[in-house]
Amino acid sequence: MSHTLIKMNDLCKAYGKGEAKVEVLKHIHFEVEEGEFVAILGPSGSGKSTLMNIIGLIDTHDTGEYILCGENICNKTENEYAEIRGRKIGFIFQKFNLIPKYNALQNVALPLLLQGASYKEATFHAKEILESVGLSDRLHHRPNELSGGQQQRVAIARALAASADILLADEPTGALDQKTGKEVLNIFKSLNKEGKTIILITHDLNIAKHASRIVYIVDGELGNTPAEEDEG
In angstroms, the CA 56 to CA 168 distance is 7
Q: Is residue 177 part of a domain?
A: yes
> 131-136 contacts: CB < 8 A, separation 24 or more?
132/157, 132/160, 133/157, 133/187, 135/104
pLDDT at 156: 93
Rounded Cα distance between 9 and 28, Å, is 6
CATH number at residue 12: 3.40.50.300
Would you say residue 230 lies in a domain? no
DSSP state of 167: E
pLDDT (tens digit per residue) in 46-71: 999 999 999 999 999 999 999 999 98
* Residue ranges making up the domain that contains 90: 4-223
- The per-residue pLDDT for 196 is 92
Q: How far is CA 196 from the centre of its chain?
A: 12
Checking 119-123 for CB contacts under 8 A at 24+ apart, the result is none
Beta bridge partners of 90: 167
228 domain-assigned = no
For the stretch 6-23, pLDDT in tens is 999 999 999 988 888 899
Measure the CA–CA gap between 117 and 113, rounded to whole angstroms. Answer: 5
User: What is the CA angle 146-147-148, rounded to 5?
Assistant: 120
- The band of 1, judged by pLDDT with boundaries at 50, 70 and 90, is low
pLDDT tens by residue, 73-131: 888 888 888 888 888 899 998 888 899 999 999 999 998 998 889 999 999 999 999 99
Domain-located, residue 74: yes
Q: What is the mean pLDDT of the chain?
A: 90
55 domain residue, yes or no? yes
Q: Is residue 232 part of a domain?
A: no
Highest mean pLDDT among 14-18, 102-106, 171-175, 193-197: 102-106
229 in a structural domain: no
Q: How many domains does one find in the chain?
A: 1
